[in-house]
Structures are given as C-alpha cells and as structure tokens.
Structure 1
Amino acid sequence: MNDIHRLQHWFSSRRGRMVSIAVLIVALAGAAIGVRGWRGDDKSGIPAPTPSTEGPTSMVGRAPLTGLPTAEDLDRPAVTVKISNTPDAHPQRGLADADIVFVEPITGGTTRLAAIFHSKLPAQVGPVRSLRPMDAALIGPTKGIVADTMADRWVLDYVDRVADLDDLGTLRVPADTYRLDDTRQASSVTIGYGGSATANWTYDTASHRWLRAEKWSRHVIENDGQVAADNVIMLTANRDTSFPKAKPTMTILDVFDASGPLKLFTGDKVVTGRWSKGAVNESFKFTTTDGKPMLLAPGTTWVECALTTMPIQTR
C-alpha cells in the first residue's frame, strides 16, 4: 500500500485512528485525504524563550518552536494533527512530543486538540478527528501540513479558501526571554469549559513544569505519563458568529483580526497580558499589560483557547 493510500485509509474513519508522522512528512504535496499544506508569514505563531530579564540570545542550534537546544537539522515542515479529547479518546498517543498544542472548545463541554509537531516526530499520533473553522487561524502561521479526518464541506471550503498552500517558507526564529512585568506566584489554574472537559493545570515543583488534568482524570498520554508543559497560555476570545452554516451548538472563537486578554503560566508565575492577531496566516502577538513583548520559556507550550464567558480560576 503506497503512502497516499495508507493516509486515505487512516483518515477514512471518524475516530480511533492513529496517524503516522513519517508518512505525513513523505506526503508533503498534500494530495492525500485529510492532509493540507499551509502558508503564512512565519512558522511559529508563538515565541519560545527562557525565563530571564536579559535580552534575546542567539537561536543558532535551537529548535524554532521550543527554543530548546538541538543538534538535529530541523529543515522540515511543522505537522499539525487534530486529536480527539473526549474521555473515550484517552489515553492519547504521541502528544508528549508536540511542541505546541492548542485546546479548542468545539461544543458544550467538549474540547479538541491541535497538536503541532516539529522538533520531535513520534511514530504515531491520535485518535485523529476533524477540522474546525478556527483551525485556519490557529494553524495558518505554521506553514506546515495538517492531518485530520476531514470536516463538513463548508468548513473544508473555508479553510482551503483562506489558508494558502504548498509554500513551506522559513521558520520564525523566536526570541529567548520573557519579561517579568506584572507577574505573581501561581500554583494552579482551572478553565471552565464545562462538563468533563473542564481542565486544571497544577505546577509541579519537582519538575518545574505544569501538569494537566481534566474533571474526570489526570490527562495521560499512552506510555508517556501525565501531560506536562513548560508554558501554559490561557487565551480568551469572543464567539465568532460569522459562519451562517455553523450549527448553533458549534463553538467557534474569534481569533483573527481580533485581540483579547491572556495569562501566561511559566515557572511558578502567572503573567497577565493581551493577545492580538491580524489575518488568518499572521502570527499571534503576546504583550504584557503595558504593551511590552511577552515571550515564553524554552520548552513545550499548551494554549487553552476559551470563550470570554468561560470562568478561569487561578490559585
């Protein structure tokens, strides 16, 4: 079975499938079902720096999406995989190797993940699920490819119309510090998505990382333990009501040509600031409350995207 046929087979089912990252890299043309190339102004959408008040250091020998040292040649596209996050999808596979993960509310009490892989490529990732309209703005800046189980025709048409294809471009070189303006201690944060999807992050003093749980259980990855991140971003946005074909139960966030508040949790600190984003393929910009650039610590980043009406509690 050739690479294209294998991808068509994997993406033909609605849930429970795992996707081979190696085959996705081979299929760069995006001809297989559920694989699309993306073009934008840069590949990073999120900078990845060290927790310091010093100026940015050289990114030579560092992974572009994490800022971590690497001896590997990373001249390859980023790969985004849409992953189910319902209780029956756990434990998921491959998430520990993601550089950036977006958590998207998709309907009442349900979230879905957009996991971006670049510095590490796991053998398998899943279970794979479908695209949503807001994926265009979240993944557009990566200039990579995305694996999914398709979507409603109007969603596919929208994504294909607003996201350019087949130009890998160059990776953005992130800065490597974050400013410590407007910070305070933090040990946990809860995001009220509703139902079983309500999520909690707790700072682990032993590993100096943030650990994720959902209302019903720790968030566990197959063979990799609990989900952990070096940076956790709480990004809140208004509801996007501009899609007439969207079902009333579908949650879509207004995340381009827009702005809103955010909180960055890194180390044992929380930094308050704002996010802004221009067109679909432009990067997110994060600033502190006084307008200075807010950059991140080296490592993995999870971005929890929530409606402004969803409660966020920090302790």
Structure 2
Amino acid sequence: MTKRVFIIAAVSLYIISAYFSFYYFSTGSISGLTQKINLPLVKYKPPVDSKGNVIIDTSAPKTEECPLSGEMLTKAHKALWEKRRPLGVMIENSIDARPQSGLTSADIIYEAVAEGGITRFLAVFYCKDSDGYVGPVRSARVYFIDMLSEYGDFPLYAHVGGANCNRTTGSGCGNGAPADALGKIAKLKWVSYNDLNHIPYPVMWRDYDRLPNRATEHTVYSTTVKLWAYAGEKRKLSNVDDEGNEWNSQFDGWKFKDDESVNPSEAGKIDFIFWQGKSDYDVTWEYDSKGNSYKRLNGGTPHLNKNNDKQIEAKNVVIVFMAESTARDNYTEGSHLLYKTTGDGEAIIFQDGKAIKGRWRKKDVFTRIKFYDTRGSEVALNRGQVFIEILPKGNTVNY
C-alpha cells in the first residue's frame, strides 16, 4: 500500500512539474501564473580584439545581405558596414602599378580609360574591408565621379589629385573645362569633407618597396580601415553626416538573385579591347563553372591581387557602351577624356555562364545605373562582386 501511494505521489509530482515548466517556458511567467517576464532585446555585438577591432569570423553563418553587391556576409560584417558609408578609391592600371592591392575585396569595380588608352579603376568598398593595402592610388576623373555620385549623399572619394583646369597656364581650361575633376568636386561641395584627396601620412603614404623600381607616381597606398577611420574622426562622416543624415536615405540599390544552373558553353570566355594598339590593357574574362564566376586576365596574364596573390574574379561582368570623346580643353600634357555617363546605351550582362544583351540607363549623375534585358525588365545580378567595364561605343566584345 505504501509503495502504491509513493508511486502515485511521484507521478502526480511529475505531472505538476511538467505543467509548470511548460507554462513558464511558453509564457515567460511563473509568479501567480499571471506576470510575464520581459526579456531585453540585445543587439548583436561582434567580437573584438584587445584594441577594439572587430574580429571577422569568416566561418560564421552568412545571413546578412550587402546592400551594394547582394553578397551574403556575417553579422560581424554588417555591424561594421552599418557604421560607415561607401568608399570609392581610384586605383591605377598602368603596367608599373601591377599587381594592384585590394581589388578582390571591393564590392563593385568600374574600369574605363583614364588617358592614352591606359585604364583606371574606381573600386567601391562598403561591406568588406580591403584585405590589407589598397592602391596604388591615382588621380580623379569626372566620369568616375559620376559613377560614385550614385552612392547616396557624400560618398567618400580617395584619390591623389585629378584632372583639372590650371588657371595660371590655361592647361585643361579650354572648351569650358569639361574634364576638370577637381572643379567638379568643388561644385559638389565635397572638398575637405567626403573628398579624401592626398590625405597625409599615416592615412596615405608612399611605399617604394612594395613594387620595387617604380616611379614615384605609382607608390601611394592606404587601407580602407584607415580611410574610414579618418573620415569618421576628422570629417565627422560615418553612416551619418555632420547633420545626422543617413547616407542611404534615398539610395536605390540593384536587384539580386542566387546563382542559377550554369551554361559554360554559351559564354565561357569574354574578350575585348579598350583602344587599338594598347594590348597591355586588353581584357579577358574566363568563366569558372566550379565557382560560377569569371576570372580576369589583364594584358594576357592573370590579373592578381598582391595582398593575397589571388586572381581577380567577379560574379557579374557588366559591359556598358558609352560615347567616348576628347575634352578639347587645351591640356598640355596629353588628352583628357570624357564619357557620356547619363542617358542610356547598349549593355551585355555576363552571369551564370551566359550573356544577357540589353541596355543600361542612368537618368542623371545621382541616379543609380541599372541594367535591363531586351524586354525592358531589370536584370537581377548574382550575389557577389560586380565588375563594370565602360567601353567606347562601337567596340566589339567576343564571347
């Protein structure tokens, strides 16, 4: 009898305990079964090292979409990009500048001829830091400013000098000085604010040993960490400006999608030139079906990032054809160029091993350039680096 009572009591106690446990964990309440315990909402804080620098664990779940490239990254990445604004860096592509540093980490890269058939890059960083150095940093051009102006209010612009109008000599001042990049920066009211022109050491510096036996103009470097820190500390520009306005309040991003099934036979290799007789700047993109990406060759050789010796590869290669012309501005040291960056024109979007013919459209310099197929529908880009090649109208692309 005693044993039976004991068993009944034990079963009863188990049922009561189970009930209260279920009620507590499902309602957060146990006091009189009436009051709920309100747990505080804690915002994610990424791990930091002894100096307060965020530690990026690349093996962590990639749950956050980069607003610029659509790439899925970690919460630690997002914790960083939410506190800053897009940063455009002018990186040269002359033979003496190779291999460049930092290009594989950029969200978006634009390439166009700077002068004499020699191309230059505008590398836009936001969601990821450069993997070490970024450079060599060179001078500004008006059409790259038009591209950077899409990235909200006061995007950071790192460069060393720029095409300009010399009022003393008249060089670059003819025909209304249409290629005057420094003058355009002044009109946009970027000077000494979001314009990071030749920032002194230790933010920018000359490194004569990184690429030995190079002329002085090929030696300026920085890092995205230093540039973002300088902008925040000296210019009061983080994700908000000095008046508290967020940079992306009116930013119009692209559409993104996941990778699709590949078709390497359709566009397995892409070849084109910028200018005749300038084969050192000819470009080839080779499709890699394993990573569903395109690997870049520059002047016939793999285009490498010196920071990690990795070949530059993009998830999307977008070729836009724009009207190229000379500025006719009496520039005494060569010929400044212009591109018609607004309006619309032909485009070819390469992704998933295939080519999509269509058009690009850009209403004005502040409007996001977008890409449309032949039916007029906006093309969604694959998540990852977007490489935009600006070719003169009439050039041929082989694929």
Give the superposition deviation at 1:173. Answer: 4.8
Paired residues for 1:63-212 under 5 Å: 63-70=66-73, 71=75, 72-73=78-79, 74-75=81-82, 76-122=84-130, 123-143=132-152, 144-153=155-164, 154-162=180-188, 167=241, 168-170=246-248, 171-177=251-257, 185-194=266-275, 195=278, 196-212=280-296
The percentage of counterpart residues that share the same residue type is 24
What is the letter of the counterpart of residue 265 of structure 1? F
Q: Which structure 1 segments of 5+ residues have no match?
A: 1-59
What is the letter of the counterpart of residue 295 of structure 2? L
Equivalent residue number for residue 297 of structure 1:
382
- 3-state secondary structure, aligned to 1:150: coil
Which whole-Å CA distance do the structure 1 matches of 2:162 and 2:97 have between them? 18
Which whole-Å CA distance do the structure 2 matches of 1:286 and 1:91 have between them? 30
Return the structure number with greater helix share.
2
Equivalent residue number for residue 234 of structure 2:
none
Which whole-Å CA distance do the structure 2 matches of 1:260 and 1:163 have between them? 30
> Does 2:350 correspond to 1:265?
yes
Which whole-Å CA distance do the structure 2 matches of 1:172 and 1:260 have between them? 20
TM-score norm. by structure 2 comes to: 0.59
Which whole-Å CA distance do the structure 2 matches of 1:216 and 1:291 have between them? 35
Contact 2:91 2:138 in 1 (8 A): yes
Q: Which structure 2 segments of 5+ residues have no match?
A: 1-62, 165-179, 195-240
Residues 249-307 of structure 1 deviation map (CA, whole Å, 9 limit, x = unaligned): 33321112x21000011111111110011111111121111111112010111000010
Cα distance, 1:311–1:174 mapped onto 2, change above 3 Å: closer
TM-score norm. by structure 1 comes to: 0.73
Which whole-Å CA distance do the structure 2 matches of 1:96 and 1:179 have between them? 19
Give the superposition deviation at 1:108. Answer: 3.2
Return the structure number with greater strand share.
1
Equivalent residue number for residue 371 of structure 2:
286
The alignment covers a number of residue pairs equal to 253
Which whole-Å CA distance do the structure 2 matches of 1:224 and 1:118 have between them? 22
Identify which of structures 1 and 2 has the higher relative contact order when contacts are C-alpha pairs closer than 8 Å and 6+ apart: 1
Give 1 or 2 for the bigger CA radius of gyration. Answer: 2
